[in-house]
Structure 1
Amino acid sequence: MQDEAPTFEAINLLGLILEKTESVEERELLFTAVDALRFIETTGQQYEFNDYRQDLMTEGPAMVIASFATREEAEAWLKNHPKPPRRAAVLIADEYHTVYYRRDTNDRRLVSTHSIEYHLEEMMKDGRPPPVASFDTREQARAWFYSLPERPSQAVIQLGGEPYLAAYHRKLDHLAFHPFSLLEPFEQWRKTLDEKKDPEEPGPRS
Protein backbone atom coordinates (compact mmCIF):
# COMPACT_ATOMS: atom_id res chain seq x y z
CA MET A 1 0.00 0.00 0.00
CA GLN A 2 1.16 3.53 -0.70
CA ASP A 3 2.56 5.63 2.12
CA GLU A 4 -0.52 7.84 1.96
CA ALA A 5 -4.12 6.98 1.09
CA PRO A 6 -4.89 8.14 -2.49
CA THR A 7 -7.61 10.53 -1.36
CA PHE A 8 -6.76 13.15 -4.01
CA GLU A 9 -7.18 10.62 -6.83
CA ALA A 10 -10.44 9.39 -5.28
CA ILE A 11 -11.79 12.96 -5.18
CA ASN A 12 -10.96 13.41 -8.88
CA LEU A 13 -12.71 10.14 -9.72
CA LEU A 14 -15.81 11.16 -7.81
CA GLY A 15 -15.76 14.47 -9.70
CA LEU A 16 -15.85 12.61 -13.02
CA ILE A 17 -18.77 10.50 -11.80
CA LEU A 18 -20.57 13.64 -10.64
CA GLU A 19 -20.39 15.11 -14.14
CA LYS A 20 -22.34 12.12 -15.48
CA THR A 21 -24.85 11.92 -12.62
CA GLU A 22 -28.23 13.59 -13.06
CA SER A 23 -30.09 12.34 -10.00
CA VAL A 24 -30.25 15.03 -7.32
CA GLU A 25 -30.20 12.44 -4.52
CA GLU A 26 -27.20 10.60 -5.99
CA ARG A 27 -25.32 13.86 -6.56
CA GLU A 28 -25.87 14.81 -2.92
CA LEU A 29 -24.45 11.45 -1.79
CA LEU A 30 -21.43 11.88 -4.07
CA PHE A 31 -20.83 15.40 -2.75
CA THR A 32 -20.96 13.96 0.78
CA ALA A 33 -18.27 11.41 -0.15
CA VAL A 34 -16.12 14.18 -1.68
CA ASP A 35 -16.51 16.33 1.42
CA ALA A 36 -15.52 13.39 3.64
CA LEU A 37 -12.32 12.87 1.67
CA ARG A 38 -11.57 16.59 1.68
CA PHE A 39 -12.09 16.61 5.44
CA ILE A 40 -9.39 13.94 5.76
CA GLU A 41 -7.05 16.00 3.56
CA THR A 42 -7.63 19.40 5.17
CA THR A 43 -7.44 18.13 8.77
CA GLY A 44 -4.21 16.22 8.15
CA GLN A 45 -5.64 12.79 8.91
CA GLN A 46 -4.23 10.97 5.89
CA TYR A 47 -2.06 8.68 7.99
CA GLU A 48 -4.94 7.84 10.34
CA PHE A 49 -7.15 7.06 7.34
CA ASN A 50 -4.41 4.91 5.86
CA ASP A 51 -4.09 3.01 9.15
CA TYR A 52 -7.87 2.57 9.23
CA ARG A 53 -7.88 1.05 5.74
CA GLN A 54 -5.00 -1.21 6.72
CA ASP A 55 -6.90 -2.42 9.78
CA LEU A 56 -9.95 -3.20 7.65
CA MET A 57 -7.88 -5.77 5.78
CA THR A 58 -6.98 -7.71 8.92
CA GLU A 59 -8.87 -10.75 10.17
CA GLY A 60 -9.28 -9.42 13.68
CA PRO A 61 -12.48 -8.26 15.42
CA ALA A 62 -13.91 -4.75 15.18
CA MET A 63 -11.51 -1.89 15.78
CA VAL A 64 -11.74 0.16 18.97
CA ILE A 65 -10.60 3.69 19.74
CA ALA A 66 -9.77 3.12 23.41
CA SER A 67 -9.43 0.42 26.05
CA PHE A 68 -10.17 0.65 29.78
CA ALA A 69 -9.69 -1.66 32.74
CA THR A 70 -12.98 -0.67 34.42
CA ARG A 71 -16.28 0.97 33.53
CA GLU A 72 -15.49 3.78 35.97
CA GLU A 73 -12.39 4.64 33.93
CA ALA A 74 -14.40 4.58 30.71
CA GLU A 75 -17.16 6.79 32.12
CA ALA A 76 -14.63 9.30 33.45
CA TRP A 77 -12.94 9.42 30.04
CA LEU A 78 -16.26 9.96 28.26
CA LYS A 79 -17.48 12.56 30.77
CA ASN A 80 -14.32 14.65 30.49
CA HIS A 81 -13.72 14.22 26.76
CA PRO A 82 -13.78 17.67 25.09
CA LYS A 83 -14.90 16.22 21.74
CA PRO A 84 -16.24 12.69 22.20
CA PRO A 85 -16.91 10.59 19.11
CA ARG A 86 -20.50 10.50 17.89
CA ARG A 87 -20.34 6.70 17.79
CA ALA A 88 -17.35 4.42 18.29
CA ALA A 89 -16.33 1.10 19.82
CA VAL A 90 -14.26 0.80 23.00
CA LEU A 91 -13.16 -2.06 25.25
CA ILE A 92 -13.95 -2.24 28.95
CA ALA A 93 -12.17 -5.16 30.60
CA ASP A 94 -11.93 -6.62 27.06
CA GLU A 95 -15.69 -6.41 26.57
CA TYR A 96 -17.05 -4.44 23.64
CA HIS A 97 -19.05 -1.27 24.27
CA THR A 98 -20.27 1.49 21.97
CA VAL A 99 -19.89 5.16 22.79
CA TYR A 100 -22.89 7.28 21.82
CA TYR A 101 -22.75 11.08 21.87
CA ARG A 102 -25.30 13.73 20.86
CA ARG A 103 -23.80 17.17 20.50
CA ASP A 104 -27.12 19.05 20.67
CA THR A 105 -28.04 17.57 24.07
CA ASN A 106 -24.54 16.59 25.28
CA ASP A 107 -25.93 13.11 25.95
CA ARG A 108 -23.03 10.67 26.48
CA ARG A 109 -23.59 6.94 26.89
CA LEU A 110 -21.72 3.64 27.01
CA VAL A 111 -23.70 0.63 25.80
CA SER A 112 -22.59 -3.00 25.91
CA THR A 113 -22.62 -4.68 22.49
CA HIS A 114 -22.23 -8.17 21.00
CA SER A 115 -19.53 -7.28 18.46
CA ILE A 116 -17.10 -9.94 19.62
CA GLU A 117 -19.78 -12.64 19.77
CA TYR A 118 -20.67 -12.05 16.12
CA HIS A 119 -16.99 -12.24 15.23
CA LEU A 120 -16.49 -15.48 17.15
CA GLU A 121 -19.59 -16.92 15.52
CA GLU A 122 -18.21 -16.10 12.08
CA MET A 123 -14.96 -17.85 12.98
CA MET A 124 -16.92 -20.95 14.01
CA LYS A 125 -18.71 -21.42 10.68
CA ASP A 126 -16.30 -24.15 9.61
CA GLY A 127 -15.52 -25.27 13.14
CA ARG A 128 -13.32 -23.58 15.69
CA PRO A 129 -9.75 -23.09 14.44
CA PRO A 130 -7.20 -25.14 16.40
CA PRO A 131 -5.19 -23.28 19.06
CA VAL A 132 -1.69 -22.22 18.05
CA ALA A 133 -0.39 -22.30 21.64
CA SER A 134 -1.48 -23.19 25.17
CA PHE A 135 -0.95 -21.26 28.41
CA ASP A 136 -1.93 -21.42 32.07
CA THR A 137 -2.22 -17.65 32.60
CA ARG A 138 -2.85 -14.49 30.65
CA GLU A 139 0.57 -13.22 31.66
CA GLN A 140 2.20 -16.20 29.94
CA ALA A 141 0.05 -15.68 26.83
CA ARG A 142 0.84 -11.98 26.74
CA ALA A 143 4.58 -12.59 27.11
CA TRP A 144 4.49 -15.11 24.25
CA PHE A 145 2.46 -12.83 21.99
CA TYR A 146 4.73 -9.82 22.51
CA SER A 147 7.79 -11.96 21.86
CA LEU A 148 6.62 -12.78 18.33
CA PRO A 149 8.65 -11.06 15.61
CA GLU A 150 5.38 -10.06 13.88
CA ARG A 151 2.23 -9.83 15.97
CA PRO A 152 -0.91 -11.10 14.20
CA SER A 153 -4.23 -9.31 14.50
CA GLN A 154 -5.69 -12.39 16.15
CA ALA A 155 -4.74 -15.89 17.29
CA VAL A 156 -6.72 -18.76 18.79
CA ILE A 157 -5.05 -20.00 21.97
CA GLN A 158 -5.76 -22.35 24.85
CA LEU A 159 -5.89 -20.44 28.15
CA GLY A 160 -6.40 -22.29 31.39
CA GLY A 161 -7.76 -25.24 29.42
CA GLU A 162 -10.35 -23.09 27.59
CA PRO A 163 -10.27 -21.80 23.99
CA TYR A 164 -9.74 -18.03 23.67
CA LEU A 165 -9.28 -15.53 20.91
CA ALA A 166 -6.31 -13.26 21.51
CA ALA A 167 -6.96 -10.06 19.54
CA TYR A 168 -4.27 -7.46 19.06
CA HIS A 169 -5.30 -3.82 18.63
CA ARG A 170 -2.19 -2.44 17.03
CA LYS A 171 -3.03 1.26 17.31
CA LEU A 172 -3.54 0.93 21.08
CA ASP A 173 -0.86 -1.74 21.55
CA HIS A 174 -3.49 -3.68 23.49
CA LEU A 175 -3.92 -7.46 23.56
CA ALA A 176 -7.49 -8.50 24.40
CA PHE A 177 -8.64 -11.98 25.42
CA HIS A 178 -12.09 -13.23 24.40
CA PRO A 179 -13.33 -16.67 25.52
CA PHE A 180 -15.25 -18.73 22.97
CA SER A 181 -17.58 -19.64 25.84
CA LEU A 182 -19.25 -16.25 25.19
CA LEU A 183 -21.11 -17.91 22.33
CA GLU A 184 -23.35 -20.04 24.56
CA PRO A 185 -25.12 -17.17 26.40
CA PHE A 186 -25.10 -15.17 23.16
CA GLU A 187 -26.99 -17.88 21.30
CA GLN A 188 -29.46 -18.15 24.18
CA TRP A 189 -29.95 -14.37 24.16
CA ARG A 190 -30.61 -14.36 20.44
CA LYS A 191 -33.01 -17.28 20.72
CA THR A 192 -34.98 -15.41 23.39
CA LEU A 193 -34.98 -12.30 21.22
CA ASP A 194 -36.32 -14.25 18.23
CA GLU A 195 -39.07 -15.76 20.34
CA LYS A 196 -40.19 -12.28 21.41
CA LYS A 197 -40.22 -11.07 17.81
CA ASP A 198 -42.10 -14.10 16.45
CA PRO A 199 -44.48 -15.38 19.12
CA GLU A 200 -46.39 -18.52 18.29
CA GLU A 201 -49.77 -17.88 16.78
CA PRO A 202 -52.64 -18.76 19.10
CA GLY A 203 -54.47 -21.97 18.31
CA PRO A 204 -58.11 -22.11 17.23
CA ARG A 205 -60.68 -21.29 19.86
CA SER A 206 -62.80 -24.13 21.13
Structure 2
Amino acid sequence: MEIGKLIFEAMNLIGLTYENTQSPEEKELLLTASDALSFITTTGQQYEFEDYREDLKTEGPEMVIATFAAREDAEAWLKNHPKPPHMASVLIADEYNLVVYDRARNFRRLLSHHTIEHHLQEMMQAGLPSPVATFDTREEAKAWFYNQPQKPSQAVIQLGGEPYLMAYHRNIDHLAFHPFSLVGRLKGSKPQP
Protein backbone atom coordinates (compact mmCIF):
# COMPACT_ATOMS: atom_id res chain seq x y z
CA MET A 1 0.00 0.00 0.00
CA GLU A 2 1.27 3.51 -0.84
CA ILE A 3 2.67 5.30 2.24
CA GLY A 4 0.24 8.25 2.13
CA LYS A 5 -2.75 5.91 2.04
CA LEU A 6 -1.22 3.71 4.76
CA ILE A 7 -0.81 6.72 7.06
CA PHE A 8 -4.39 7.88 6.31
CA GLU A 9 -5.76 4.39 7.11
CA ALA A 10 -3.71 4.22 10.32
CA MET A 11 -5.08 7.60 11.41
CA ASN A 12 -8.63 6.41 10.74
CA LEU A 13 -8.02 3.28 12.82
CA ILE A 14 -6.62 5.39 15.65
CA GLY A 15 -9.72 7.62 15.42
CA LEU A 16 -12.08 4.64 15.67
CA THR A 17 -10.14 3.24 18.61
CA TYR A 18 -10.19 6.69 20.25
CA GLU A 19 -14.00 6.83 20.01
CA ASN A 20 -14.30 3.46 21.75
CA THR A 21 -11.79 4.21 24.51
CA GLN A 22 -12.91 5.37 27.94
CA SER A 23 -9.60 5.93 29.71
CA PRO A 24 -8.33 9.53 29.51
CA GLU A 25 -4.75 8.24 29.63
CA GLU A 26 -5.33 5.88 26.69
CA LYS A 27 -7.13 8.64 24.78
CA GLU A 28 -4.07 10.87 25.25
CA LEU A 29 -1.79 8.09 23.97
CA LEU A 30 -3.97 7.58 20.89
CA LEU A 31 -4.09 11.32 20.25
CA THR A 32 -0.29 11.45 20.49
CA ALA A 33 0.04 8.62 17.94
CA SER A 34 -2.37 10.40 15.61
CA ASP A 35 -0.47 13.68 16.04
CA ALA A 36 2.80 11.92 15.23
CA LEU A 37 1.39 10.62 11.95
CA SER A 38 -0.07 14.05 11.19
CA PHE A 39 3.34 15.61 11.89
CA ILE A 40 4.93 13.24 9.35
CA THR A 41 2.47 14.22 6.64
CA THR A 42 2.29 17.97 7.32
CA THR A 43 6.08 18.33 7.42
CA GLY A 44 6.52 16.41 4.17
CA GLN A 45 8.35 13.46 5.71
CA GLN A 46 6.23 10.64 4.29
CA TYR A 47 9.05 9.21 2.18
CA GLU A 48 11.53 9.48 5.05
CA PHE A 49 9.03 7.60 7.22
CA GLU A 50 8.61 4.97 4.50
CA ASP A 51 12.41 4.57 4.30
CA TYR A 52 12.58 4.33 8.09
CA ARG A 53 9.99 1.55 8.11
CA GLU A 54 11.92 -0.31 5.40
CA ASP A 55 15.12 0.11 7.41
CA LEU A 56 13.43 -1.46 10.45
CA LYS A 57 12.90 -4.64 8.41
CA THR A 58 16.63 -5.09 7.77
CA GLU A 59 19.10 -6.88 9.98
CA GLY A 60 21.50 -3.94 9.95
CA PRO A 61 22.53 -1.83 12.92
CA GLU A 62 20.65 1.20 14.19
CA MET A 63 19.92 3.99 11.72
CA VAL A 64 22.00 7.16 11.84
CA ILE A 65 21.09 10.63 10.55
CA ALA A 66 24.59 11.91 9.73
CA THR A 67 28.23 10.91 9.60
CA PHE A 68 31.38 12.86 10.34
CA ALA A 69 35.07 12.15 9.81
CA ALA A 70 36.11 13.78 13.11
CA ARG A 71 34.54 14.81 16.41
CA GLU A 72 35.36 18.47 15.68
CA ASP A 73 33.18 18.29 12.53
CA ALA A 74 30.30 16.79 14.50
CA GLU A 75 30.65 19.38 17.29
CA ALA A 76 30.61 22.22 14.73
CA TRP A 77 27.53 20.72 13.05
CA LEU A 78 25.72 20.44 16.38
CA LYS A 79 26.75 23.93 17.54
CA ASN A 80 25.52 25.56 14.32
CA HIS A 81 22.40 23.44 13.80
CA PRO A 82 19.31 25.71 14.03
CA LYS A 83 17.08 22.88 15.32
CA PRO A 84 19.22 19.97 16.49
CA PRO A 85 17.66 16.53 16.66
CA HIS A 86 17.22 14.97 20.09
CA MET A 87 18.16 11.35 20.81
CA ALA A 88 19.20 10.64 17.21
CA SER A 89 22.33 8.66 16.35
CA VAL A 90 25.25 9.94 14.30
CA LEU A 91 28.53 8.32 13.35
CA ILE A 92 31.85 9.94 14.15
CA ALA A 93 34.65 8.04 12.41
CA ASP A 94 32.17 5.13 12.20
CA GLU A 95 31.54 5.15 15.96
CA TYR A 96 28.01 5.67 17.26
CA ASN A 97 27.19 8.85 19.15
CA LEU A 98 23.88 10.06 20.50
CA VAL A 99 22.76 13.65 19.92
CA VAL A 100 21.33 15.13 23.10
CA TYR A 101 19.51 18.45 22.89
CA ASP A 102 17.49 20.30 25.50
CA ARG A 103 15.61 23.10 23.74
CA ALA A 104 14.73 24.99 26.95
CA ARG A 105 18.39 25.35 28.01
CA ASN A 106 19.89 25.16 24.49
CA PHE A 107 22.01 22.31 25.85
CA ARG A 108 23.75 20.36 23.07
CA ARG A 109 25.95 17.30 23.55
CA LEU A 110 27.26 14.28 21.68
CA LEU A 111 27.49 11.15 23.81
CA SER A 112 29.25 7.98 22.80
CA HIS A 113 27.01 4.95 23.08
CA HIS A 114 27.43 1.23 22.57
CA THR A 115 24.64 0.34 20.17
CA ILE A 116 27.03 -1.17 17.62
CA GLU A 117 28.83 -3.21 20.26
CA HIS A 118 25.50 -4.72 21.33
CA HIS A 119 24.57 -5.40 17.70
CA LEU A 120 27.90 -7.16 17.08
CA GLN A 121 27.54 -9.12 20.31
CA GLU A 122 24.09 -10.27 19.25
CA MET A 123 25.50 -11.38 15.89
CA MET A 124 28.18 -13.41 17.70
CA GLN A 125 25.82 -15.41 19.91
CA ALA A 126 26.42 -18.53 17.81
CA GLY A 127 30.09 -17.67 17.22
CA LEU A 128 31.80 -15.25 14.92
CA PRO A 129 29.95 -15.18 11.56
CA SER A 130 31.88 -16.28 8.48
CA PRO A 131 33.03 -13.47 6.20
CA VAL A 132 31.46 -13.18 2.73
CA ALA A 133 34.63 -11.62 1.29
CA THR A 134 38.20 -10.69 2.22
CA PHE A 135 39.91 -7.36 1.53
CA ASP A 136 43.21 -5.67 2.29
CA THR A 137 41.81 -2.12 2.31
CA ARG A 138 38.55 -0.26 2.91
CA GLU A 139 38.74 1.09 -0.65
CA GLU A 140 38.66 -2.48 -2.02
CA ALA A 141 35.72 -3.33 0.25
CA LYS A 142 33.83 -0.19 -0.81
CA ALA A 143 34.42 -0.91 -4.50
CA TRP A 144 33.12 -4.48 -4.02
CA PHE A 145 30.07 -3.30 -2.06
CA TYR A 146 29.02 -0.58 -4.49
CA ASN A 147 29.28 -3.06 -7.37
CA GLN A 148 26.72 -5.37 -5.75
CA PRO A 149 23.38 -5.38 -7.62
CA GLN A 150 21.49 -5.51 -4.30
CA LYS A 151 23.26 -3.59 -1.54
CA PRO A 152 22.79 -5.48 1.74
CA SER A 153 22.20 -3.57 4.95
CA GLN A 154 25.16 -5.40 6.43
CA ALA A 155 27.85 -7.91 5.51
CA VAL A 156 30.55 -9.61 7.51
CA ILE A 157 33.94 -9.22 5.86
CA GLN A 158 37.59 -9.86 6.62
CA LEU A 159 39.50 -6.56 6.42
CA GLY A 160 43.25 -6.50 6.90
CA GLY A 161 43.06 -9.85 8.68
CA GLU A 162 40.35 -8.77 11.13
CA PRO A 163 36.60 -9.55 11.05
CA TYR A 164 34.43 -6.49 10.40
CA LEU A 165 30.78 -5.71 9.98
CA MET A 166 30.26 -3.54 6.93
CA ALA A 167 27.00 -1.64 7.48
CA TYR A 168 25.20 0.37 4.83
CA HIS A 169 23.11 3.34 5.94
CA ARG A 170 20.83 3.91 2.96
CA ASN A 171 19.27 7.12 4.24
CA ILE A 172 22.64 8.92 4.09
CA ASP A 173 24.39 6.61 1.57
CA HIS A 174 27.21 5.80 3.99
CA LEU A 175 29.14 2.57 4.30
CA ALA A 176 30.49 2.10 7.83
CA PHE A 177 33.09 -0.40 9.02
CA HIS A 178 32.84 -1.85 12.54
CA PRO A 179 35.47 -4.31 13.81
CA PHE A 180 34.06 -7.21 15.80
CA SER A 181 36.77 -6.49 18.36
CA LEU A 182 34.49 -3.66 19.59
CA VAL A 183 32.57 -6.32 21.52
CA GLY A 184 35.56 -6.40 23.85
CA ARG A 185 34.44 -2.99 25.15
CA LEU A 186 31.38 -4.70 26.61
CA LYS A 187 33.00 -7.90 27.86
CA GLY A 188 36.52 -6.70 28.59
CA SER A 189 37.99 -9.21 26.13
CA LYS A 190 38.59 -9.58 22.42
CA PRO A 191 36.31 -11.96 20.44
CA GLN A 192 37.85 -15.18 19.25
CA PRO A 193 37.60 -16.14 15.53
Range into which the TM-score falls when normalised by the shorter chain:
over 0.9
Distance 1:159 1:35 in 2: 46
Matched AA of 2:133: A
SS of 1:165 mapped into structure 2 = strand
Match of 2:117 in 1: 117
Distance 1:105 1:9 in 2: 38
Matched AA of 1:117: E
Q: 5+ unaligned residues in a row in structure 2: which ranges?
A: none
Distance 1:113 1:3 in 2: 32
Match of 2:58 in 1: 58
Distance 1:63 1:79 in 2: 22
Distance 1:19 1:3 in 2: 24
Distance 2:100 2:79 in 1: 12
What is the aligned-residue RMSD (CA, Å)? Answer: 1.3
Distance 2:21 2:7 in 1: 21
Match of 1:34 in 2: 34
Distance 1:117 1:48 in 2: 26
Match of 1:92 in 2: 92
Aligned residue pair count: 189
SS of 1:6 mapped into structure 2 = helix
SS of 1:38 mapped into structure 2 = helix
SS of 1:158 mapped into structure 2 = strand
Structure 1 position 103, deviation (Å): 0.5
2:183 matches 1:188: no
Structure 1 position 3, deviation (Å): 5.2
8 Å Cα contact 2:117-2:185 kept in structure 1: no
Distance 1:99 1:147 in 2: 33
Distance 2:135 2:5 in 1: 39
CA deviation profile, 1:54-113 (whole Å, cap 9, x unmatched): 111111000000000000000000000011002200000000000000110000000000
Which one is further off, 120-129 or 167-176? Answer: 120-129
Distance 1:4 1:161 in 2: 47
Match of 1:2 in 2: 2
Match of 1:176 in 2: 176
Q: TM-score, structure 2 length as denominator? A: 0.94
Q: TM-score, structure 1 length as denominator? A: 0.89
Structure 1 position 44, deviation (Å): 1.4
Larger Rg: 1
Tell me the percent identity: 68
Matched AA of 1:107: F
SS of 1:168 mapped into structure 2 = strand
CA deviation profile, 1:97-144 (whole Å, cap 9, x unmatched): 000001100000000000100100111112222100001111111111
SS of 1:171 mapped into structure 2 = helix
Alignment of structure 1 residues 102-141 onto 2, 5 Å: 102-141=102-141
Distance 1:161 1:41 in 2: 47
Structure 1 position 164, deviation (Å): 0.3
Match of 1:164 in 2: 164
SS of 2:22 mapped into structure 1 = coil
Structure 1 position 188, deviation (Å): 2.4
8 Å Cα contact 2:132-2:157 kept in structure 1: yes
Match of 2:150 in 1: 150
Structure 1 position 20, deviation (Å): 1.1
